[in-house]
């Protein structure tokens, strides 16, 4: 299965570490949106899209990249993020990115989220939160998520 991971990780490299763990399992390159050849994107069977969460949304560069994609034939996709806090029920930003991808013809197989070291200004005052995250358990969970994607693709479920 030919897989690519598109990742914007600007704050502490938290999401990039998650992407690299998934990339090892999926044998996938991890690229910043600026490095992706949009025309070639549709040669992949599966594309992952991830970033940190900023002001309750995926990074604007990742969202802009997805918005700029032409509508293509149906391809597999997955979405992942790292954030200081869990996604609030009143602001389902993962669902928003999934919908955007679906509008572009992607079929989103699954989503993954974990905590990351967070120095958002209010938390910076106390030295940040989640200082050790993503940790070994988070990376293990990211690899297990990627294994699940592989299994699902093999069994067609
Ligand atoms: C300016 C700023 C805004 C942020 N906004 C949020 C937010 O709305 N919700 C949240 O849970 N975390 C927020 N965070 C924390 C980041 O999502 C978290 O640190 C993430 O792991 C960063 O990923 P990265 O290192 O891959 O860029 C914010 C961090 C910064 C610096």
The CA 118 to ligand 1 mean position distance, Å, reads 6
Region at 78 (left for phi over 0; alpha for psi -120 to 50; beta for the rest): beta
**Alpha-carbon dihedral sign for residues 6, 8, 13, 18:** negative
pLDDT band for 153, please (50, 70, 90 cuts).
confident
Instruction: Specify the ligand 1 atom closest to the Cα of 119.
Output: 31
Domains of the chain: 3-155 (3.40.50.360)
Pocket of ligand 1 contains residue 115 by CB under 6 Å: no
CA separation for the pair 102, 108 (Å, rounded): 7
Mean per-residue pLDDT, 45-63: 97
Is the shortest distance between the CB of 134 and ligand 1 below 6 Å? no
The C-alpha atoms of residue 74 and residue 62 are separated, in whole angstroms, by 20
Residue 155, pLDDT score: 75
CA-based nearest residue to 79, from 15, 133, 24, 13:
15
Q: Is 130 in the pocket of ligand 1 (CB under 6 A)?
A: no
Question: Strand, coil or helix: what is 25?
Answer: helix
The confidence score (pLDDT) of residue 36 equals 96
Q: Does 120 contact ligand 1 (Cβ within 6 A)?
A: yes
Which range has the worst mean pLDDT, 9-13, 86-90, 119-123?
A: 119-123
Spatial separation of the C-alpha atoms in residues 49 and 32, rounded to whole Å: 10
Does the reported pTM lie above 0.95? Answer: yes
Q: How confident is the model at residue 142 (pLDDT cuts 50, 70, 90)?
A: very high
Contact 48, 77 (CB under 8 A): yes
Query: Is the distance from the beta carbon of residue 123 to the nearest atom of ligand 1 less than 6 Å?
Result: no
Number of CB atoms found within 10 A of residue 123's CB: 15
Query: What pLDDT score was predicted for residue 157?
Result: 65
Pocket test for ligand 1, best of 9, 14, 50, 54 (most atoms within 8 A of CB): 54
**pLDDT of the residue at 101:** 97
Distance 53 CA to ligand 1 centre (A): 5
Read off the pLDDT of residues 98-141 as tens digits, 9 standing for 90 and up.
999 999 999 999 999 999 999 998 888 889 999 999 999 999 99
Over residues 32-42, mean pLDDT: 93
pLDDT at residue 102 in the model:
96
**4-8, 71-75, 113-117, 149-153, range with the lowest pLDDT:** 71-75
Residue of minimum CA distance from atom 18 in ligand 1:
83
Ranking 19-28, 68-77, 84-93, 110-119 by mean pLDDT, the lowest is 68-77
* Residue located nearest, by CA, to atom 4 of ligand 1: 54
């Amino acid at each position: 299965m030919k897989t690519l991971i598109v990742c914007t990780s600007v704050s502490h490299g938290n999401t990039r570490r998650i992407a690299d763990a998934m990339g090892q399992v999926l044998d996938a390159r991890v690229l910043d949106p600026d490095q992706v050849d949009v025309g070639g994107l549709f040669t992949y069977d599966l594309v992952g899209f991830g970033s940190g969460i900023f002001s309750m949304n995926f990074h604007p560069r990742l969202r802009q990249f997805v918005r700029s994609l032409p509508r293509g034939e149906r391809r597999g996709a997955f979405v992942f993020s790292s954030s200081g806090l869990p996604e609030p029920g009143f602001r389902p930003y993962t669902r928003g990115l999934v919908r955007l991808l679906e509008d572009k013809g992607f079929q989103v197989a699954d989503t993954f989220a974990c905590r990351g070291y967070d120095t958002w200004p209010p938390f910076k005052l106390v030295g940040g939160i989640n200082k050790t995250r993503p940790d070994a358990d988070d990376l293990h969970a990211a690899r297990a998520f990627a294994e699940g994607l592989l299994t699902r693709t093999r069994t067609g479920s």
